[in-house]
Chain A
Amino acid sequence: MLKLEDVHKAFGKNQILKGVDIEVNKGDVIVILGPSGSGKTTLLRSINFLEKADKGKLTLDDREMDMHHSSRKDISYVRKNTAFVFQNYCLFNNKTVLQNVTEGLIVARKVPKKEAVETAISALKKVGLEDKLDMYPAQLSGGMQQRVGIARAIAVNPKVILFDEPTSALDPELVGEVLSIIKRLAKEGTTMIVVTHEMSFAEDVANKVIFMSDGVVVEQGSPKEIFYKPKEERTKQFLKRILPVSDYVI
């Protein structure tokens, strides 16, 4: 359903992405792992053009587009068919919880207000925040804000949801509530690409793990393959540093 080919991106003299290929099928739950600087966030952000790739081809549902010479229509098409969940939630500060979730429907997709509100409320129910409709982001905890962010993403019924380290900015005790929601979405068949450090998540629900380092995909496979039988030396090095020694045998 979604395919990225030969993606390159440099920031000034820094070559962050050095030719990355990714393939996503419907229902896939893909986790991208890697040390900081590996380019995983940049890759994710280049999918919905928050970063403009220097080179690459993106194919979404049979529609091909050049990632560097993309037209406004292409970008709009991608953005209307994907959704992004930010590390820092990025809820619209000047809008209520309900308005945050309906904004994408009413304004971007011209959904009539009544229908949009219904959809929004059911999305908020899914994340357990249907009682906070009229509150503003500043009044919510980090975990709650992120849940609203997820509801905002689900409400527009995207083909794939992009999660950029969704729990990294949360206090430890709030990570669980957000993680469980994302896990539930995964089990329900939502297609998603998740950049995260939460290994438990990868093991529980991912069907494909991609390990990136230094701007390239080093290795990819099922969670079992990557965690228990990594083939590349770089992968092994990374896992050694991240995983508690007793849990996995490298």
Chain B
Amino acid sequence: MRFKLSTFFEYLVKLLPYLKVTFTYAGLSLVFGIVFGFLFAVFKLGKSRILRGIANVYTAIFRSVPPVVLLFLVYYGIPMAAEAITGKSMGRKEPILFVIITVTLLATASLTEIMRSAYKSVDKGQYEAGVSIGLTEIQTFFRIVFPQALLYALPSLGNLVIYLIKEGSLGFTIGLVDIFGKANTLNQNTYSNHILEIYIALATIYWVVAIATEKLLKYAEQKVKRELGRA
């Protein structure tokens, strides 16, 4: 089996710059996902049956659909819908746009659950103590309940980030040039002569990023816990 370490490092270096793309779609999806996830979590916890229903239907669908299917549906479906609405063709289709949309849709579903569960984990007494002291409900939420919910949500958030990066890697199927897409291109250009080195380098990058994310989150968790005096 031919595997040259030097070639491995060569490709490692060639792929690294494209991490930028990966982090871009992961980051943007996370941000949008938090916004919409928060919205749907509020719906789910609220009194309106209709809103609760909408949020439940959304999470049911987007947690059950395979990411790759959603990606293709978005890739073919959105331009079609856009054309139908505006009557204009969409022109050049940038893959990253569709990847961001897809990953955001998935992230929102997960984040709705994460936030709802974290919110419920905070003892009701915290809210009661807040309002009985004269704070408004909003003040109590943002100053007392939310920070504690965030702490409960941290581990799940870490997992989510890794998940977003992994699922977004499917973007190469619609032509996205992130690390996976670039790896494929490099492989084709070298007629699969260095196929082992390329894909092992690719796997290594993903692995390291995953481990780093885990460690970062554990560190953040520890820091906050230490600050609040908990063991």
Q: Residues of A with Cβ closer than 8 Å to B?
A: 48, 50, 76, 79-80, 82-84, 86, 88, 90-95, 103-104, 107-109, 135-139, 149, 152, 156
Closest partner residue, chain B, to A91 (CB atom):
B129
Q: Are A107 and B135 in contact (CB under 8 A)?
A: yes
Q: Given A107-B143, A136-B229, does the pair A93, B132 have CB atoms closer than 8 Å? A: no
**Size class of the B contact interface (CB-based, 8 Å):** 20 to 34
Contact status B229-A50, CB under 8 Å: no
Alpha-carbon gap, A48 to B134, bound state (A):
10
In angstroms, Cα B227 to Cα A93, docked, is: 11
- Cβ–Cβ < 8 Å partners of B87 in chain A: none
**B111 CB to closest chain A CB, in angstroms?**
21
A93-B128 contact given A108-B139, A136-B228, CB 8 Å threshold:
no
Q: Which of chain B's residues have a CB closer than 8 A to the CB of A84?
A: 128-129, 132-133
Q: In the assembly, what is the distance between CA of A19 and CA of B135, in Å?
A: 30
Query: Once the chains bind, are B148 and A79 in contact (CB under 8 Å)?
Result: no
| Residues 41-58 of B contacting A (Cβ, < 8 Å) | none
Using an 8 Å CB-CB cutoff, how does the interface string of B115-148 with A read, 1 for contact, 0 for none? 0000000010110111111111001000110011
B147 near A90 with CB under 8 A, answer: no
Residue B88 at the chain A interface, CB threshold 8 Å? no
Q: B230's closest neighbor in chain A, by CB?
A: A138
Residues of B within 8 A of A139 (CB): 229
How would you classify the secondary structure of chain B's contact residues: helix, strand, loop or mixed?
Answer: helix
- In whole angstroms, how far apart are the Cα atoms of A156 and B227 in the complex? 27
Please name all residues of chain A whose beta carbon is closer than 8 Å to the beta carbon of B131 when the two chains form the complex.
Answer: 50, 79
A90: chain B residues at CB < 8 Å are 123, 125-126, 128-129
B229 adjacent to A152 (CB under 8 Å): no
Chain A residue at minimum C-beta to C-beta distance from B139: A107
When distances are taken between beta carbons in the complex, the residues of chain B under 8 Å from A138 are 228-230
Q: Are B134 and A86 in contact (CB under 8 A)?
A: no
Report Cα–Cα, A76/B132, bound state, in Å. 9
For the complex, what is the distance from the CA of A139 to the CA of B131, rounded to whole Å? 24
Contact assessment for A92 and B130 in the assembled complex, using a CB-CB cutoff below 8 Å? yes
Question: Are the CB atoms of B143 and A103 closer together than 8 Å?
Answer: yes
Q: What 19 new A-B contacts, CB under 8 Å, besides A91-B129, A103-B130, A152-B133?
A: A48-B132, A50-B132, A76-B134, A79-B133, A84-B132, A86-B129, A90-B125, A93-B126, A94-B147, A94-B228, A103-B143, A107-B139, A107-B143, A108-B135, A135-B229, A136-B229, A139-B229, A149-B129, A156-B134
Contacts of B128 in A (CB 8 A): 50, 84, 86, 90
* Chain B positions within 8 Å of A93 at CB level: 126, 148, 228
Q: Is the CB of A86 within 8 A of B125?
A: yes
Q: Write 11 A-B pairs (CB below 8 A) sorted by A numbering.
A: A79-B131, A82-B132, A84-B132, A90-B123, A90-B129, A92-B126, A94-B144, A109-B134, A135-B229, A136-B227, A138-B230
- A138–B144 CA distance with the chains assembled, in angstroms: 15
Residues of B within 8 A of A48 (CB): 132
Neighbouring A residues of B230 by C-beta, 8 Å? 136, 138
